[in-house]
Amino acid sequence: MLDYFNTRMDESGSKGEWSVDKVLSVVTTNARAWRGDGIKLFTELRFTYEEEAHPEEFFVPYVWSLVCTHSGIPWDPAAIALFTPPAGALAGGAQ
């Protein structure tokens, strides 16, 4: 399929950079004539999740970013702490 549309784009004779509108126009025009007879069907893809040594380093901040973004609760990002800082880290050395 990609070869088909890439060939049609090459044949269109358009010079210069391709914009989204140009690509869409070529694809739309040529989609009517495209036949999927030669498409190779792939077997069902299977993926395996391999857990890293400390998955929480990724998942905790990621899940909380989703909660803050999509929960509808007006969170104050400056007040969110995902870990307890070491003693004295917040003082910054100032007394």
Within a domain: 22: yes
Within a domain: 87: no
Quote the tokens at residue 77: 């990002």
Within a domain: 83: no
Residue the block writes with tokens 């989204």: 20
Stretches where the chain sits below pLDDT 50 are: 93-95
Residue 10 confidence (pLDDT): 85
Within a domain: 46: no
Residue 84 confidence (pLDDT): 65
Residue 95 confidence (pLDDT): 43
Within a domain: 64: no
Residue 88 confidence (pLDDT): 62
Q: Find the domain containing 7 and state its range.
A: 2-38
Within a domain: 27: yes
Within a domain: 28: yes
- pTM above threshold 0.75: no
CB 26 within 8 A of CB 5: yes
